């Protein structure tokens, strides 16, 4: 009878998702205690000079709304923030699952293709988010 070969776990499935998720949690914590922080972010330069919001406008208000449990209000301020927080959570869960099951990472050319594809998708989503902010930012 053959013995089962133990699967090796690849820690690279966890590094980037854990770091990203930790950063998102830190930002949510900072948003939760925002009123107690002595330094405040400066006004948006693009909005001040040209009268249109930048792609990050409303992000602080969106994080504060998320930290207080108001996701719909957060999406109204900046949908990309809500989407980014959700993606970070799912990426963390996916990385943990791949690590736990011993999934083998794809070869480097495939990883590069995935990075390019995901960067293009993120660029399109940010452009759509910016259009939304220009038209609808409260």
3-state secondary structure of 37: coil
Examine residue 16 and state whether it is found in any structural domain, yes or no.
Answer: yes
Task: State the total domains in the chain.
Answer: 1
Residue 102 backbone zone (phi > 0: left; psi -120 to 50: alpha; other: beta):
left
pLDDT band of 4, cuts 50, 70, 90: low
- Could you tell me if residue 4 is inside a domain? no
List alpha helices for the chain, DSSP H.
Answer: 12-32, 45-50, 59-67, 71-77, 79-101, 108-136
Local confidence band at 101 (pLDDT 50, 70, 90 cut-offs): very high
Query: Do the domain assignments include residue 6?
Result: no
Q: Is residue 121 part of a domain?
A: yes
Closest CA to 69 of 87, 56, 85: 85
- Has residue 1 been placed in a domain? no
Residue 131 within any structural domain of the chain: yes
Confidence of residue 137 (pLDDT cuts 50, 70, 90): confident
**Terminal Cα-to-Cα distance of the chain (whole angstroms):** 68
Q: Buried b vs exposed e over 103-125: b needs ≥16 C-beta within 10 Å?
A: eeeeeeeeeeeeeeeeeeeeeee
- Of the chain, the percentage scoring pLDDT greater than 90 comes to 87
pLDDT grade for 8, boundaries at 50, 70 and 90: confident
State which residues form the domain around 66. Answer: 12-136
Q: Is residue 71 part of a domain?
A: yes
Q: What is the mean pLDDT of the chain?
A: 93
86 pLDDT more than 60: yes
Can you tell me the mean pLDDT for 69-81? Answer: 97
The answer, yes or no, to whether residue 90 has pLDDT greater than 80, is: yes
In 3-state terms, what secondary structure has residue 10? coil
Question: Residue 6's pLDDT is what?
Answer: 62
pLDDT score at 1: 56
Residue 19 lies in a domain: yes
């Amino acid at each position: 009878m053959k013995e089962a070969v133990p699967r090796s776990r690849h820690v690279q499935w966890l590094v980037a998702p854990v770091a990203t998720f930790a950063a998102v949690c830190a930002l949510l914590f900072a948003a939760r205690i925002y009123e107690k922080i002595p330094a405040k972010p400066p006004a948006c330069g693009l909005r001040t000079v040209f009268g249109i919001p930048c792609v990050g406008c409303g992000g602080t208000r969106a994080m504060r709304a998320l930290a207080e449990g108001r996701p719909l209000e957060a999406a109204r301020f900046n949908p990309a923030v809500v989407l980014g927080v959700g993606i970070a959570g799912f990426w963390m869960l996916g990385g943990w699952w791949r690590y736990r099951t011993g999934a083998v990472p794809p070869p480097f050319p495939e990883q590069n293709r995935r990075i390019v594809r995901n960067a293009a998708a993120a660029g399109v989503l940010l452009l759509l988010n910016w259009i939304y902010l220009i038209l609808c930012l409260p």
